[in-house]
Amino acid sequence: MRAREVAQLKIDQGLPPFPDLASRDSIKDRVHGIMVGELQAMEGAGRTVCDFPEAPWEFTLDMARQVWDESRHVEIYLRLLEHLDGYAGEFPETTILWRCACAEDAAARVAGVNRGLEGLACDVFNQLVHIARKMGDPILERAVEFVLADEITHVRMGSKWLTRLTEGDPERRRRAIEFQETIDERFNLGGMRRLGDHEAVPVSIATDVRRMAGFTEEEIERLIKSTQRSQVY
């Protein structure tokens, strides 16, 4: 099903279109979505290992490391689903993340996936750690905190390879960043992702984490502005 259709079905039933983490069931719904996202991240990183044999070897090495991380993340979220009395397949999901991972150019892929989607993952995981801490679930809190640490590493890899792969080719860099920006705009979580404190906004943009992962102040500023515009997901 399309993400939009699922959201509409929820609205029709008087439910929030995206899990607001206000209940355990809603947290389970979110964790389920993340598990499927991790699966698609593993598939995407795996394709990147396979699709670019001409890229520098260190690029393959980083992407292979990411495959390993994502495969552990899938396992972690499958176990968290068990912890929350859920199961894989309980909620409908889409392949939208995978489709975003299908850019032809390696630089666009790392910009869109590692910086765009995994940057979004940092925002979401940061919020989930906060909520787990608040509701006193140390299993959820600790596991997601470690996944978040890995994701920051992946975003940092994205920043590094966006720069290296496009060295001396400003046009390629421009196209890759443009691709990333389309992703940033598409994944605003229905306008829930905004600048602000965890208590004040539904999903807070993790600005510190992004700085740690190689985002410039200007990029963070642009992202914040984009969350104030329209969105499809």
Partner 1 sequence: MPHPLEGRFSVDHSARLIRNYRYAVERALRALGGWIALTPEISAKLLMGRHVWDLAQHADAFGKRLPELRAPAQVSEPPNPAFAAFMDALEEPEGKEQTVERLVGVYRVLKPHLLATYRDHVARANPVYEPPTRRILERCIEDEARHIAAGETILRHLASTPALDERAAVWQGRLEGLLAAAGGVTGDGLPQASAAPPTATQPPELDDDAREWIRLERTVTVWPIPDDLRATLQSFGDALLARDAAAPRRWLAAGAAWDVGAESSLYAVKPAAHRVVAFARVGHHRLVKLSFEGADGAATLLTRWVPAADGWRVAALEVARVDAARPALPPP
Positions 90 through 129 that interact with partner 1 (CB under 8 A): 90-92, 98
Give the closest residue to 33 by CA, choosing from 110, 109, 125.
125
Q: Which of 67, 108, 121, 162 binds partner 1 (CB under 8 A)?
A: 67
Scanning residues 24 to 63, which ones bind partner 1 (CB under 8 A)?
39, 42-51, 53, 57, 60-61, 63
Residues within window 57-76 making contact with Fe ion, judged by CB under 5 A: 70, 73
In the set 27, 78, 84, 132, which binds partner 1 (CB under 8 A)? 78
Distance CA 110, CA 106 (A): 6
Helix axes 57-83, 24-51, angle to 10 degrees: 160
Q: Is 82 in the site for partner 1 (CB under 8 A)?
A: yes
> Min. distance of Cβ 42 from partner 1 in angstroms?
5
How far is Cα 140 from Cα 138, in angstroms, rounded to an integer? 6
Minimum distance from residue 12 beta carbon to partner 1 (Å): 8
CB closer to partner 1 out of 87 and 135? 87
Is residue 64 a contact partner of residue 52, using CB atoms and an 8 Å limit?
no
Which of positions 73-102 make contact with Fe ion (CB under 5 A)?
73
Q: Minimum CB separation from partner 1 for residue 71, in Å?
A: 3
| Contact call for residues 152 and 122 (beta carbons, < 8 A) | yes
Maximum distance among all Cα pairs of the chain, rounded to whole angstroms: 53
Backbone angles phi, psi at 177, to 5 degrees: -65, -35
Binding partner of residue 157 among Fe ion, partner 1, none, CB under 5 to 8 Å per kind? none
Q: Give the Å distances, CA to CA, from 66 to 70, 92, 94.
A: 6, 26, 22
152 binds partner 1 per the rule CB under 8 A: no
DSSP 21: S
Where is 12: in which H helix or E strand?
A: helix 3-12
Q: What angle do CA 17, 22, 28 make, to 5 degrees?
A: 75
Q: Out of partner 1, Fe ion, none, which partner does residue 81 contact, by CB within 5 to 8 A per kind? A: partner 1
Q: Say if CB 165 and CB 106 are below 8 A apart.
A: yes
Does position 230 interact with partner 1 (CB under 8 A)? The reply is: no
Q: Which residues bind partner 1 (CB under 8 A)?
A: 1, 6, 9-10, 13, 15, 39, 42-51, 53, 57, 60-61, 63-65, 67-68, 70-72, 74-75, 78-79, 81-82, 87-92, 98
Q: Which residues bind Fe ion (CB under 5 A)?
A: 38, 41, 70, 73, 118, 151, 154
